[in-house]
Chain A
Amino acid sequence: MAEPLKQQIAEAFVEPACETNRAKSEAARKKGCAKPLMPGAAAGGCAFDGAMIALQPIVDVAHLVHAPLACAGNGWDNRGSASSGSQLYRKGFTTDLTELDIVMGEGEKKLYRAIREVIEAEHPAAVFVYATCVPALIGDDIAAVCKVAAMRFGTPVIPINAPGYVGSKNLGNKLGAAALIEHVVGTMEPEAPGPTDINIIGDFNLSGELWQVTPLLDRLGVRVLGSVSGDARYRQIAMMHRARVTMVVCSHAFLPMARKLEERWGIPYFEGSFYGISDTSAALRRLCALLVERGAPEDLLARCEALIAEEEAKARAALAPYRARVEGKRVLLYTGGHKTWSVVSALQELGMEVVGTSTRKATEEDKGRVVEIMGDERHMFDNMAPREMYTLLREARADVLMSGGRSQFVALKARVPWVDVNQEKHEPYAGYVGMVDLVRAIDRSVNNPMWAALRAPAPWEAGAVVAAVAPLVLAAVPSSKTDFEDC
């Protein structure tokens, strides 16, 4: 592994801003936070995947994957980040390295030509070149190719050095964000930086989630200057250093980026979430408080409170009709991190019972919040094997599973409703309106009459009760409407 990359990875592991990290002993911290993967029992994405996820939502960039076909070919056009502008980010660009390219050492030349072709064809704001396992192994100097190409073609060409084998998806998130800090942030200046310009990091505008929140920000006069990377333009990344406050949305992986923005450019950051009513309100409060500290007009605080009061009331009113439909339903939450608790209180408020919540990827603070909201630790669990989850659901110990796509079929095959609350989901659930959408989705799912039909025994199963159609009583047969006797 190249020295700079090694160093970057080591740095990622000693992240001082990370609470999980701070809570560790010196020795444990040195080991790093990436758990060693167990061959035969690993299912997550690689570092390249993580870097791609972090950066691909930047809409006007050509994302070029320097790799044999699998890296881009098996993974393109599979995420729901929405764009209000360019659709370039959705195109799959790859160098499609062949055996001959690799054997003959043609990788660098092919990459250079590919960069030229993509610039000529698409006129992107920038080209992001993703390193992957094979070119890293054969020693392609991607950084050098990018540098030469950028000079020749007059378009920024940014190397993203996160080959798959270096680690997990989470590490890839960090390496992707680090590349932005190293190569992009601070390279352009906004026309009119304002006292309420902010950065949002860690939101990918999946299914338009960011847009469930930006109308609130608009009403407060807060402008999203920089975004990593939901609905972001390249210029917004380049101008991030002029924002007044950074909000990190539910992601430890992006803390290092926020911390570097603070170190280099003095931008304070906070962690917040737009999932759930109380979380959304808390995030808005914190955001406005920090902005005022940094020179925004004082009245922002009062306006923020008024907005919160109005929106919370609206959301509660919109949720009320669903109460009768979801009350008493038992929910099993299998997400992780802050979602462990952030939607729990909202569900409880509607009379739903959360029978369990997974504390994967959750910090001690997250776990504390679970106890605070749910009374005790009995409902917390860490991981659950699919088999166990299937059994639990098949025994009807929960009415609905809320989780990510991987456990979808565990629930469905157990004949239990499932609501997607992770990143691949097709419906946005952010902010106040998103909470209403989420409850609507739960209602639609748990109250679908299909489940009863599905759980009913087949005609050939013992004890099958199939309502027989009442046999005809001859005496009741009315005479024919038309007289045919004389045909």
Chain B
Amino acid sequence: MAKLIHPRRALSTNPLKTSAPLGAAMAYLGIEGAIPLFHGAQGCTAFAMVHLVRHFREAIPLQTTAMNEISAILGGGEQIEEAIETLRKRAKPKFIGIASTALVETRGEDVAGELREMLLRRSDFAGTAVVYAATPDFTGGLEDGWARAVEAIIAALVPEGGPVLPGQVNLLAGSHLTPADVEEVAGMVRAFGLAPIVLPDISASLDGHLSEDWAGHSLGGTGLADIARMGRSVATLAIGEAMRPAAEMLAAKGVPAEVFGSVTGLAEVDRFVAALMRLSGREAPAVLRRDRARLADTMLDTHFQTGGLRVALGAEPDLAVSLGGALVGMGAEIVAVVTTSGLSPAAERIPAAEVILGDLGDLERGAEAARAQILLTHSHGRMMAEKLHLPHVRCGFPVFDRIGAQDVCRAGYRGTRAFLYEVANAMLGQLHRPRPEDFGASRPPMEFDHAPPPPASH
């Protein structure tokens, strides 16, 4: 158990954290035909949208209730109604996910109550599922907002269980998984003949595909009909500690749940595969066995670089547990780690002596003091990477100075393999040729040096 450190300071320098409503928006985007709607001032939405667009390099449908100075005082219920009406008219979404912001939560608005009242009154909204999650910017980060959104979806759209549908499993995907990760994990589930309902399924919406259509809502994602059947699954597999409350909600509807803190690293993936074997009653398919054997060989080839590697890690709790755990399992040492939120028990499970709940400024100081050799964090870590001359493996959100963040897979046997190569190669790319100074040795006397002739004058 890591000791959680709360720095005693007022100033946050170079934030690691991304806001909770943005996390909720990302989760909502994993639902088919969705438009996330921020209940707040329009700037909240604009900043979040720019962030999302830079990361995914996609047009992101994200709207706002555009709170103004009057509604900020008198209440924003009407703003929501108007927003839903406009969105329905313009983009015909099947799903609108509302995320509150600090503004309305500070006001103390009873959004849930107003929404219930409004939906009863506006029967013409029936064709659009509307879900609301309380995600004030001042509580938690992206991971928490994502989790609240998933919980809101389950609460609103999953009816009480019915007859079990054999082979159907719920796969609750945490915010630390990229679209490629989600696809990999869902593929493993399918490889055992199981039919997963992935919630939320950003692998079908934010995976960076060129579609044949333009729409003002998400294209792809978990279908609403599938969500409605989640109470009848054989089991729920939740990836990431942040997904535990959502898994527990499904468990309350009669679906047994297992939570996997990580699906990166040999032992962690083994545990997931063992669960799939138990659930399906099937043997592991040959392709998966081959993937495991390849990962084992990758571990042999990369442990020369990862053994004793001093890592600085800045990530939200679930991502830090996944990537940090995989590296520690390979002999690395997490010498400096900063995470965003102590709300999740995962924060304490990050494999390090101390975990700072702080910012990239804390990480920079920690990495420098502990002589870290590599940095793992999102793109904003690039300044400290430059300053400390560290190779920088980009992970988490946002990744805006590299292309293809959605396609990076670090989950499952295959993803772990790619991750280990990524880290080992980052180190190999840094290898400098030895110099006498490294050993405190002097250079040979100048008289031995060959002086090439001066360049011929023209």
Contacts and interface: CB of A to CB of B under 8 A. Distances in A.
A and B are interacting partners? yes
Interface stretch (A23-31, A68-76, A357-365, A459-467): A459-467
B252 A474 contact: yes
Interface string A8-24: 00000000000000000
B243 interface: no
B449 A477 contact: no
Given A454-B296, A468-B274, A480 B245 contact: yes
Interface residues of B, number: 70
A208 B307 contact: no
A215 interface: yes
A165 B292 CA distance: 44
Contacts of A467: 271
A235 B442 contact: no
Contacts of A214: 436, 439, 441-442
Contacts of B443: 84-85
A482 B438 CA distance: 57
Interface stretch (A242-250, A267-275, A315-323, A444-452): A444-452
Nearest to B452: A123
B151 interface: yes
A459 B283 CA distance: 9
A94 interface: no
B212 to A, nearest CB: 33
A86 B155 CA distance: 70
Contacts of A469: 258-260, 271, 275
Q: Which of A218, A233, A482, A485 has the most CB of B within 10 A?
A: A482
A176 B278 CA distance: 66
Interface string B301-332: 10100111000000000000000000011110
A218 B436 CA distance: 13
Interface of A: 60, 82-86, 123-125, 190-191, 207-208, 210-212, 214-215, 218, 223-224, 231, 233-236, 239, 412-413, 415, 426, 428, 433, 440, 444-445, 447-450, 453-454, 456, 458-460, 464, 466-469, 471-472, 474, 477-478, 480-487
B155 A215 contact: no
A449 B309 CA distance: 13
Interface string B3-18: 0000000000000000
A459 B444 contact: no
Nearest to A214: B441
B426 interface: no
Contacts of A448: 303, 307, 330-331
Given A444-B307, A482-B134, A84 B275 contact: no
6 contacts: A233-B449, A450-B303, A472-B258, A477-B251, A486-B112, A487-B132
Given A466-B270, A484-B155, A233 B436 contact: no
A449 B299 CA distance: 11
B329 A450 contact: yes
Contacts of A486: 112-113, 115-116
Given A208-B435, A468-B275, 17 more contacts: A123-B452, A210-B441, A211-B439, A218-B441, A235-B447, A448-B303, A450-B299, A453-B329, A456-B267, A459-B273, A469-B271, A469-B275, A472-B258, A481-B245, A483-B112, A486-B115, A487-B130
B441 A215 contact: yes
A480 B303 contact: no
Contacts of A231: 436, 444
Nearest to B135: A482
A208 B438 contact: yes
A59 to B, nearest CB: 9
Interface string B115-146: 11000000000000011111000000000000
Contact of A82 (B156, B275, B329, B434): B434
A236 B438 contact: no
Nearest to B450: A125
A20 B45 CA distance: 82
Interface in B135-165: 148, 151-152, 155-156
B450 A60 contact: yes
- Give the most central of B245, B257, B301, B434: most A CB within 10 Å: B434
B444 A207 contact: no
B307 A466 contact: no
4 nearest interchain CB pairs?
A208-B434, A484-B155, A125-B450, A123-B452
A459 B132 contact: no
Contacts of B308: 440, 444
B329 A480 contact: no
A139 to B, nearest CB: 33
**Most A CB atoms within 10 A — which of B133, B155, B453?**
B155
Contacts of A210: 441
A466 B248 contact: no
B228 interface: no
Contacts of A426: 431
Contact of A445 (B249, B273, B307, B447): B307
Interface of chain A, main secondary structure: loop
The DSSP consensus for interface residues of chain B is: helix
B151 A211 contact: no
A60 B445 CA distance: 14
Nearest to A484: B155
A477 B284 CA distance: 32
A190 B307 CA distance: 46
A487 B450 contact: no
Contact of A482 (B151, B260, B289, B329): B151
B429 interface: no
Contacts of A84: 435-436, 441, 443-444
Given A208-B439, A454-B266, A482-B134, A472 B251 contact: yes
Given A86-B450, A474-B251, A460 B277 contact: yes
Contacts of B116: 486-487
B440 interface: yes
B216 interface: no
A477 B248 contact: yes
A485 B152 CA distance: 9
A474 B134 CA distance: 25
Give the one of A218, A223, A415, A460 with max B CB within 10 A.
A460
Considering residues A60, A84, A239, which has the most beta carbons from chain B within 10 angstroms of its beta carbon? A84
Contacts of B193: none
A460 B278 CA distance: 11
B189 interface: no
Contacts of B151: 480-482, 484
A450 B439 contact: no
A123 B266 CA distance: 53
Given A215-B440, A482-B151, A487-B152, A450 B447 contact: no
Contacts of A208: 434-436, 438-439, 441
A429 to B, nearest CB: 12
B198 interface: no
A82 B130 CA distance: 66
Given A233-B444, A466-B270, A469-B259, A460 B284 contact: yes
B433 interface: yes
B300 interface: yes
B167 interface: no
B247 interface: yes
B53 to A, nearest CB: 28
A458 B292 contact: yes
Contacts of B435: 82, 84, 208
Interface string B283-299: 11000010010001001
A472 B439 contact: no
Contacts of B47: none
B256 interface: yes
A242 B442 CA distance: 21
Given A450-B303, A450-B330, A485-B155, A459 B274 contact: yes
Contacts of B266: 453-454
Contacts of B152: 482, 484, 487
Interface string B67-89: 00000000000000000000000
A124 B450 contact: yes
B214 interface: no
